[in-house]
Amino acid sequence: MASLTVLTALVCATLAAGGAAGVRVELTRIHSHPGLTASQFVRDALRRDMHRHNARRLAMSGTVSAPTRKSSPGGGEYLMTLAIGTPPLSYPAIADTGSDLIWTQCAPCGGQCFKQPTPLYNPASSTTFGVLPCNSSLSMCAGALAGAPPPPQGCACTYNYTYGTGWTAGVQRSETFTFGSSPADQTRVSGIAFGCSNASSDDFSGSSGLVGLGRGSLSLVSQLDAGRFSYCLTPFQDTRSTSTLFLGPSASLDGTGVHSTPFVASPAMAPMSTYYYLNLKGISLGTTALSIPPNAFSLNADGTGGLIIDSGTTITSLVDAAYQQVRAAVVSLVTLPTTMDGSAATGLDLCFALPSPTSAPPAMPSMTLHFDGADMVLPADNYMILDSGVWCLAMQNQTNGAMSTLGNYQQQNIHILYDVGRETLSFAPTKCSTL
């Protein structure tokens, strides 16, 4: 989620007021509408991706994990389930490595709130709800207070995050969060800074909020001082399986077939400072290396360009100089006629018409993303999408010089480890539903 606009302000009010093990959370892809076709899913996912591209933004001794699940064919994000407050109220939130803020909708919601699958979190019902002082290091208003006299006790920081046409607004607070799907593996972490939103657009339907997993100080990864985290996203066609997000020491990747590539240092300026940049050096389709300019994915000194990996974006976007090479290579291997009807239905640029709605697509070679020191191999199901006789390239183009994004559709069935401490991304092909 990129190019974020954040407005903050100070408000004063009288509000009620341990260390963590690791965290384990299940992931599920959002079921935004079980009746949507794959083409409708892609169209809606692309719309959400565009909104977020325009607005991106534990002290751990053991394991923290969260169940994660993907949505129905109508959704393009993956949800992690966690609980907030005391007594804990469970809620599903979009797991987003492209932003930092943790937030959920709060009652009473006097503004505009989207329909969510769980009850609204009510601060008045929690005994651990507390103020996050405006001069806290985790306050979004702290920068504005630098060098100023301390604010009155009880002041809080209001925010308005604008993600393109999507947005959320509220007040920063402090709460206890509970991770884990059963009492035996639950971990409670107090003092988590989060956003208590009382007005939001409807771009987050299927969830009850969002959890930022980026590099910034407000992200769950940073607040837990996790050091590393991992996930394995189950396939989009599998709407019943769940996988798990691990944060902390239990996030590991062992065995054969593991590849590792270093993160590219993020620019210091926001919002680019929150992204996980990778050095993509080239792309092959089958045994053919594509003629992509060597600097197509370079991160420029002014913060433009580069490629990030993002769990909160669905469809991979490539700068046009690279996308056109991928597109041409796919066209050269597929003898089916192209169809504008499929492009209109999905919003994708390249679609082919199968002989009938029940026809199987032709065999295609794997696509390989050549990162610095590591190759990520994508089977055809990770870069092509099938829907009712239409078969489309599940990628889109970006203006040359713009940021490219490796989305979650391309990450399915790959176990991915973010080692933030060692500045390394590791990955291995895995049947994620078996983890």
Q: Which residues are catalytic?
A: 96, 310
The three-state (H, E, C) secondary structure of 69-92, written as one string: EECCCCCCCEEEEEEECCCCEEEE
175, 192 contact by CB (below 8 A)? yes
**Pairing mode of beta strands 64-70, 23-29:** parallel
Q: Tokens for 36?
A: 């949507």
Neighbours of 34 (CB within 10 A): 11
Neighbours of 254 (CB within 10 A): 9
Distance CA 399, CA 208 (A): 33
Q: How many degrees, rounded to 5, is the angle at CA 218 between CA 212 and CA 220?
A: 50
370, 280 contact by CB (below 8 A)? yes
**Three-state DSSP state, 36:** coil
Q: How long, in residues, is the chain? A: 435
Residues 6+ apart with CB under 8 A from 222: 100, 215, 216
Backbone angles phi, psi at 81, to 5 degrees: -105, 125
H-helix or E-strand containing 272? none
Q: Tokens for 296?
A: 């197509």
